[in-house]
Each structure stands twice: as C-alpha cells, then as structure tokens.
Structure 1
C-alpha cells in the first residue's frame, strides 16, 4: 500500500501527454519542463519569429529552434531527414 500512496501523490510528476500531439506552451512552462523533465510529451513555444521544439517524450527534454512550424513539427515526428524547405 505505501507504493500506491506514493504513486498517487506523484501523479502530476508522471503524467504523460498524447505522444502524437505537440502542445503549445509558454516560456515559463518550457523552463519547467527542461528543468524537471516532466511532464513527458512533445511541446513547442514561439519565441519571436522562431519555433522552439521540446521533445520530452523520453524525459530527456531535447530542444531545437526552427524557422517554421512545419520544420519543428517534422523534427518532432522524426522526419527531419526528409525535410525539403
């Protein structure tokens, strides 16, 4: 029973977003995801004229900057080798 209580208390920490969905977040939320590595999922934010993608699906918070939403989306979907922009 102690493990169940622990997991219940940590529910937010282990939440996982739909891995196919790319969620738009704020810069404050991005800092939190990069620092804490939760929640798991794929995210992006708009920083000026750039799109910043954060792939935290594995808990590693991989981060890249792109010129367009399409480039960021393709990177998030693992299609960066096929991109022709």
Structure 2
C-alpha cells in the first residue's frame, strides 16, 4: 500500500527502534489484564514489517526480542536506535 501523499515512512524493515512510552493492554491482548503494562517504555525491538490501519495510520510490527512478543506500534510511539544496513 502506498503512503499518504507527502508522507515518508520514518522506519524501514530491520531498523532497531525504542518505545518512547509504555504500552498498556487496551483489552485486545488476551494474556494480560486490561490496563496492564505489556511493553515498558525504553524497550527496544526490530521492525518486522509496516502496514496501515484504516488506510491512513501507519503501523509498524515490532519484534521485542527480549520480551518474546511482537506488537504493532505507531510512529509517534517509536524512536530510531540504529538504522538497518
């Protein structure tokens, strides 16, 4: 899918990224209580792929290797740690 006009993706597959705010369960993750912290702020992971929600919201699939989970994150929730080669 193409990005909305004039908007470049900030991250690419393979980039190492850091979560800028904690991720809490909004009720859609079945293995934790609603409101429970799923991924703490500062956790690092790698971009596995990128897609869109409702064709306008860019979402990155992040593999938080140390936690053993993969979650979707929006651009404003992430910062670049290391660019993929």
Mark the structure with the bigger radius of gyration.
1
TM-score of the two chains, using structure 1 as the length reference: 0.29
TM, length-normalised to structure 2: 0.29
Structure (1/2) with the larger helix percentage: 1
